[in-house]
Amino acid sequence: MVMWAGRFSKELNKDVNAFNSSLSFDCRMYRQDIRGSLAHAKMLCAQGIISAEDYEDIVRGLSAILGEIEEGTLTFDSDAEDIHMFIEAELTRRYPKAGKRLHTGRSRNDQVALDLRLYVHDEIKDIKGMLKDMIGTITDIAAQHTETIMPGYTHLQRAQPITFAHHLMAYAEMFLRDMDRLNDVDKRVNVSPLGSGALATTSYPLDRFMVAQELGMSDIMYNSLDGVSDRDYAIEFANALATIMMHLSRFSEEIILWCSWEFKFIDLDDAYATGSSIMPQKKNPDIAELVRGKSARVINAVSTLTTMMKGLPLAYNKDMQEDKETLFDAIDQVRLCLPVFEDMLKTMSVNKDKMREAAAKGFINATDCADYLTKKGMPFRDAYKVTGQLVGYCVEHGITLEELPADVFQSYSDLFAEDVYEAINLMTCLKARGVIGGPAPDVESANITRVKKKAGELL
């Protein structure tokens, strides 16, 4: 049954019907569509717009349809244009009188807008849970490595001493911001457009606040044109998903570097790597590479949605049907990547000795050597120059600062004494960085506790 058949004298061309149909992808919103319809019907009954008998039939019918879809005993009709038409047609088939009254006071425009908002709201909750799990895994690993020294990098050059915990916790902070960002997006998602109608509300005495409350939404949209045509929240959500993937991609790049023979800071579990069809020695970090690749796909969703909306006049336009496939794919990629990436982290092995060796050979205690001289009275720029000369000497002779003989130190400055070796010891350098936000073990341990608590609060 075509819902607008009264105006048209011809059936829709089958090719046009297939082109026009969105059921193949919007069918995933069946739960949200039924939730919205149940709330709408309850309000219609409360307002005296439909009878209690019709309301009961609608509840009975929609509840049965939901159960049968969940059980797999009711399959989607490929001839239906979208999930909204499918469910209404199925309800009307079972309860003809009540089914035909369900759509009173609403349009598919505000119905679609509501369903997508409910869907995004549900997905935000799920993805936040995944991010919390990721943060939990990162903090658990970090807690074991608050004294595992490794070089910190700038420009991918060894710079200053940090710990593996400190490096990992930078990503925990990113994922915390992702959770917070999703909460912020949800404030603009979780408002009800239902009652906006096609574009100009309706003459029926709807109680829009009742519907919003019934659905657990925080407010209604106060302009009907905006109510049916707004997709800002979808763009914001896509942007939040893109940022999550950008963070995962950066993390993936480091995993890829760390497990290479040039670094060997970590080893990936065999279950999370692949081999080569021709090179028997290869162990490839394919999971990390795929996550890095999929990030482009999600990042592109922001551009697709923004471009789709940029030239649309008010109010609803069919172009907006294109929001769902793009947004759903972005959601799917994030949901696919987060758990497998987390499992990869859980199963990796950390090579502490290789990290310590890289730290020792990187002259990452040079700043601390300069600080040593500064604390003894030398101007920092002079101390900087002296330390640079010492590093040059070490490079020329193939040794580290810690291995430099005392007489060589003193040949560059008589301020050097035996206590220089303690000052430039990597663990000393590390523990000295006790400023909040730094890598000192006690500071990092406190931060791990803070992050765990914060993740729980943001959920």
Selection from 195, 197, 38, 187 nearest residue 108 by Cα: 197
Structural contact between residues 407 and 418, judged by C-beta atoms closer than 8 angstroms? no
9, 155, 203, 277: the catalytic one is 155
276, 303, 349, 411: the catalytic one is 276
Residues belonging to the chain: 459
Active site (annotated) includes residue 155: yes
Strand partners, 160: 152
C-alpha to C-alpha distance for 429 and 149, rounded to whole angstroms: 10
C-alpha to C-alpha distance for 319 and 369, rounded to whole angstroms: 63
Tell me, what amino acid is at 88? E
H, E, C per residue of the chain? CCCCHHHCCCCCCHHHHHHHCCHHHHHHHHHHHHHHHHHHHHHHHHCCCCCHHHHHHHHHHHHHHHHHHHHCCCCCCCCCCCHHHHHHHHHHHHCHHHHHHCCCCCCHHHHHHHHHHHHHHHHHHHHHHHHHHHHHHHHHHHHCCCCCEEEEEECCEEEEEEEHHHHHHHHHHHHHHHHHHHHHHHHHHCEECCCCCCCCCCCCCCCHHHHHHHCCCCEECCCHHHHHHCCHHHHHHHHHHHHHHHHHHHHHHHHHHHCCCCCCCEECCHHHCECCCCCCCCCECHHHHHHHHHHHHHHHHHHHHHHHHCCCCCCCCHHHHHHHHHHHHHHHHHHHHHHHHHHHHHHCEECHHHHHHHHHHCCCCHHHHHHHHHHCCCCHHHHHHHHHHHHHHHHHHCCCHHHCCHHHHHHHCCCCCCCHHHHCCHHHHHHHCCCCCCCCHHHHHHHHHHHHHHHHHHC
Would you state the torsion angle of the CA atoms of residues 12, 13, 16, 21, taken in this order, to the nearest 10 degrees?
A: 50
Q: Which residues are catalytic?
A: 155, 276
